[in-house]
A and B are shown apart, each in its own frame.
Chain A
Amino acid sequence: MIRTCQELQALQNSLLNQRDPNKQYVRVCVGTGCRARGSLDVLETFKEEIRKQSLEIKVESKQTGCHGFCERGPVVVIGPKEIFYQQVKATDVNEIVSKTLLNGEFVDRLLYQDSTTGQKVQHEHEVPFYKMQTRRILANNGRIDPTNILDYIAVGGYQALAKAISNMSQEEIINAVEKSGLRGLGGGGFPTGRKWRTCREASGDIKFVIGNGDEGDPGAFSDRSLMEANPHSILEGMIIGAYAIGANQGFLYVRAEYPLALKHLQIAIDQAKEYGFLGKNILNYGFDFDIKIVRGGGAFVCGESSALVASIEGRMGEPRAKYIHTVERGLWNKPTNLNNVKTWACIPLIVNNGADWYAKTGTGKSKGTAVFSLVGKVNNTGLIEVPMGTPLKQIIYDVGGGVPEGKKIKAVQTGGPSGGCIPEELLDLPVDFDKLTEAGSMMGSGGMIVMDENTCMVDVARYFLDFLQYESCGKCVPCREGIKRMLEILTGITEGRGRGEDLGLLQELAEMIKDFSLCGLGQTSPNTVLSTLRYFGEEYQAHVKEKRCPAGVCRSLIEYTILEDKCTGCGACLKLCPQQAIQGEQKKLHVIDPTKCIRCGICRDSCPFIAITVR
């Protein structure tokens, strides 16, 4: 139990004294991505091998959260030199122990190879994926064991809380957050300091703070990674915020699809209670605060503040009209301050380093860093953090390593279903809240999806509408009915039933939904349609007028054919075709019967000679 700020300082000092900076360590990423590829086995094997060889005193092995480079998982870092091994299997462990830990040699085949120079990279910070990033929110992600509060305290954890509660008035904390220019990282980009002030000034004795970890955007996993890897940073931010606002109870609303995040957050809350950072009379300053986890029910709309509040109250997650904001009347009609978990994690950084330090990075009205999950048709899928204002091109090529198979990039989608598609011509766009909005997209909760020439933008728009019509809560007519009608029109277009007047009708419907939907999610729902109509009009025209899908995606508009000069008659496709639509004798040209073909594409996947094409 830590009772005072002095005790916290003493604990950190003693932890640092105990730790030998030259001691060897093995850090194994056990985030969802690496775990799915067997990193728990790798960690267990390391522990066993270290025990067998009696190296426990010399080497410390531990689990860490997501390092971000999920594409290359499981990721293992060997310290103190931070040697970076990728795609490690349990069978590699023996060699790593004998070569690297005992003899200081590298295991060459596990090192990352720079795709442009062909050179092997030995250390984590030299890998281009990391080199181009500015990691603040994610800084400790791969360094600490998320299930051990002492690890967090050793890297300076809860010092910001100590500083805020002992040295700063509530007014000073809110001033600092305002001055830092921090804006909501959940998507909306509302100035955090202003939100806090409104909530603090709202009348009422009982107030609440909420951490939003209901990351519903498909293709975004930054909140998950942070909750899994550094849960205490979120808690610390919430405690400071609650102190400044005057709340004594907090809630963390987390997606049920994130079991590991839920587990790590619960462990963190229990430990924070045990150490006295949560509970009664925190650090002896007379401030009481507690946090409860609420498991989401799997509804996208619950990312919206008033729907989330309804869900915590045990009701259907339907948003309400916001004549009165949740900061004034939210949970159980009490003033409630809701921020995304990444926003909360920025607070300790601002308190520790000062508002000026935070505001030094970024652009005019978007300060600090932006976290994205870089996914889709990109070489280095993973979690990244870059200064606000970094051009899209730099993110995709320098951090993301470009598009696989040398294909051409077509568009970048940000902001999930609320965002839009930015075409290749605009890749020099600096990424910040306002620039993305100007381009017809938005920051959203941090998904950045790269699309290549084989992506059909009409189909992408249809995909997001399909998602949205399923997730629409159904309370207001524009969203419930409007999205459905737009989806019908788009489905028609992708199935070759497009009519000349459809595009105008889509535009009209989209603008109606934008203007008249009840909540933010409804109002932003037509963004993908609007942005694709704006930038990819030709592709729509090809579908409607020529009944042609230039990207070769829309099934009703394409045909699979076998290339005469490439087919060897091996019969691989013939065996796998579920429709028996392929005919041909062995070692002779095979032919696809278009009347039987359902365009499932299994033949193309199976062809070892790339002899099957789409027209």
Chain B
Amino acid sequence: MKELVEFIVKSLVDNPDEVRVYATEDRSETTLELSVAADDMGRVIGKNGRVINSIRTLVQVSAAKEGKRVNLEVLEADRD
């Protein structure tokens, strides 16, 4: 799941090197936290969250195959 999110997000942003996905798992649920360059936030979230919601939908498909639930959150970007 982590690889899927990384693969999608890196193909959508201008700064693929700054894409990080942190995964924490417990028995039934995986939480994925995504961080991207501040400039890429808009691209990853999309208008009305359309992009991130579509990514969530796709990750759910592969999570369901493992009998798990998945949460995908976008971490607030640090603006220095």
Q: Do A and B bind each other?
A: no
